[in-house]
Amino acid sequence: MITHIDKRGNPTMVDVTEKQISHRTATARSIVSLPVEVLAHLTDGGLQTKKGSVFQTAIIAGIMAAKKTGDLIPLCHPLGLDNCNITISLNKTNEVVIDCTASITAKTGVEMEALVGASIAALTVYDMCKAMSHDIVIKETKLLSKTGGKRDFKRA
């Protein structure tokens, strides 16, 4: 069932009037692959460029974007998030792993907010590092989990 199409085939916002308010969370992940010349700038404090701290800037950008999801995705409900948290780390293959967790107590979930937050944080890493190399790849963005709606989801 496609939820954003009305009976006449026109785009529509999902009507959440009859839904119950519940605590809802969602976590999304983006992975960014950095070339060796960018990784050479990695220190204990993160990745530093002439523009500043890459990871700290990406965290702020991701949170700001998650809060604006309703303005960016046409049929998303505008939500006042209760919380948004972004963590950035390196995995065993030196890829940047960005996790965004959003939560709200509301009638609709926050999957899109988590996905937008992780995506914009990844794009910010790209933007801040592109002067060192354009061989940066945002490999994937995916939903890891969600709770509180009709059905919970957890990626295996």
Phi, psi of 48 (to 5 degrees): -110, 135
Within 10 Å of residue 10's Cβ, how many Cβ atoms?
8
From first to last of the 156 residues of the chain, give the pLDDT tens digit. Answer: 677 788 888 888 888 988 999 999 999 999 999 999 998 887 776 788 888 899 999 999 999 999 999 999 999 999 999 999 999 999 999 899 999 999 999 999 999 999 999 999 999 999 999 999 999 999 999 999 999 988 999 998
Query: What are the boundaries of each domain within the chain?
Result: 22-147
Give the DSSP H or E segment for 154: strand 153-154
* Cβ count within 10 A of residue 100: 32
| Annotation marks residue 71 as catalytic | no
Instruction: State the Cα–Cα distance between residues 74 and 68, nearest whole angstrom.
Output: 11
The catalytic residue among 44, 82, 127, 135 is 127
- CATH superfamily membership of 22-147: Molybdopterin cofactor biosynthesis C (MoaC) domain (3.30.70.640)
